[in-house]
């Protein structure tokens, strides 16, 4: 097999993992997956090698490792179809492109179907670490519309833990306020209300509302439980650049009808987690050796004032300097 710089030495490590008493397959699979998802695209040779190596490992690792790898690859748009199927994930279907097509006549529009028929199939077990949440959020926000559809489609079947739904009475009040703000084209009030309702910081809420493609706003509205007719009215009135484009309104309306509530709540959890990651990065704890270095520096500075006089013993008279 041709060796690739992306996976150096993995064949030798696989040979080592077969030796009695050495089980490094879980670590190998995690490292292999991390290396693969770091790049946004891969050559045909790199994809072939990843499929070959991952296929040889995924059946021989523990459930926790398999679940972690499954969750990571489910949100990566360039995961090979063979690996998606092996992990029990649903590959992206050609029909997802329909939501990006031009508008259909209202009379020909079929009833909206869910993005997945396994909306509640995955048990909500794995909480995202802030770093993973930040990576998911960044991946989603920088993805193209069709890639966002694939990410959300796969999120619905991952074992990632979604955010808790907003209590019904609070959601109803928020939806009413959001619709009124949209009707008045008051983007500032709409953004503030959305952030407070979903417990999102202002920076992320602004990014969600101002995204030109509209999928993040659809996720936020779905996570809040906004009815589809209300979401369509929000699209029509909130921002002229969206409301004046019939094609854009129809596209996002169809997308909203297919969007899974579970996927939207997982995306909400990722946004909240990414905010926590930013806070931790800003207020990074001191290294364990920082205090020691500070003491050393202080000692050195004290020594510059001149050496202290030695204590001299003078017999019966006691101690003198």
Tokens 């993005």 locate to: 115
pLDDT of res. 61: 84
What is the C-alpha to C-alpha distance for residues 260 and 257, in angstroms, rounded to an integer?
A: 8
pLDDT of res. 116: 40
- Backbone Cα Rg of the chain: 28
In order of 98, 198, 251, 280, the CA distances from 268 in angstroms are 25, 8, 22, 19
CB atoms near residue 284 (< 10 Å): 7
Confidence check: pLDDT of 247 > 50: yes
**pLDDT higher for 29 or 191?**
191
Closest among 44, 36, 46, 122 to 76, alpha carbons compared:
36
Q: Confirm if 267 and 148 have CB atoms less than 8 A apart.
A: no
Q: Confirm if 137 and 266 have CB atoms less than 8 A apart.
A: no
Q: What is the mean pLDDT of the chain?
A: 75
Q: Confirm if 216 and 223 have CB atoms less than 8 A apart.
A: no
Average pLDDT over residues 172-183: 95
Average pLDDT over residues 251-272: 93
Q: Global pTM?
A: 0.59
Q: Confirm if 279 and 272 have CB atoms less than 8 A apart.
A: no
Residue 112: exposed, middle, or buried by beta-carbon count in 10 A (0-12, 13-18, 19+)?
middle
pLDDT band at residue 147 using 50, 70 and 90 as cut-offs: confident
pLDDT of res. 37: 84
Confidence check: pLDDT of 287 > 90: no
CB atoms near residue 157 (< 10 Å): 25
Least confident of 80-84, 93-97, 132-136, 256-260: 93-97
CB contact set of 261 (below 8 Å; sequence gap of 6+): 119, 165, 222, 223, 225
CB contact set of 89 (below 8 Å; sequence gap of 6+): 70, 73, 74, 79, 154, 157
CA triplet 109, 149, 166: central angle to 5 degrees?
A: 90
């Amino acid at each position: 097999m041709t060796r690739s710089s992306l996976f150096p030495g993995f064949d030798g490590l696989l040979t080592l993992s077969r030796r009695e008493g050495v089980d490094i397959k879980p670590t190998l699979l995690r490292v292999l997956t991390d290396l693969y998802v770091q790049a946004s695209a891969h050559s045909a040779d790199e994809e072939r090698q990843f499929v070959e190596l991952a296929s040889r490992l995924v059946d021989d690792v523990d459930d926790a490792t398999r679940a972690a790898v499954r969750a990571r690859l489910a949100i990566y748009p360039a995961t090979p179809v063979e690996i998606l199927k092996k992990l029990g994930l649903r590959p992206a279907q050609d029909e997802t492109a329909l939501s990006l097509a031009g508008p259909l006549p209202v009379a020909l529009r079929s009833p909206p179907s869910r993005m997945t028929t396994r909306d509640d199939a995955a048990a909500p077990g794995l909480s995202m670490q802030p770093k993973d949440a930040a990576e998911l959020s960044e991946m989603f926000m920088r993805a193209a519309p069709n890639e966002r559809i694939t990410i959300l489609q796969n999120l619905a079947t991952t074992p990632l833990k979604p955010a808790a739904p907003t209590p019904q009475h609070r959601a109803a009040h928020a939806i009413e306020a959001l619709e009124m703000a949209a009707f008045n084209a008051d983007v500032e009030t709409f953004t503030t209300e959305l952030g407070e309702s979903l417990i999102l910081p202002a920076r992320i809420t602004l990014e969600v509302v101002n995204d030109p493609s509209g999928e993040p706003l659809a996720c936020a509205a779905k996570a809040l439980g906004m009815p589809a007719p209300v979401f369509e009215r929000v699209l029509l009135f909130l921002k002229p650049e969206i409301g004046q484009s019939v094609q854009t309104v129809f596209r996002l309306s169809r997308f909203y009808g297919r969007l899974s509530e579970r996927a939207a709540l997982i995306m909400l959890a990722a946004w909240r987690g990414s905010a926590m990651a930013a806070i931790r990065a800003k207020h990074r704890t001191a290294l364990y050796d920082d205090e020691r270095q500070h003491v050393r520096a202080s000692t050195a500075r004290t020594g510059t004032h001149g050496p202290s006089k030695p204590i001299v013993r003078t017999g019966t008279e006691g101690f003198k300097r």
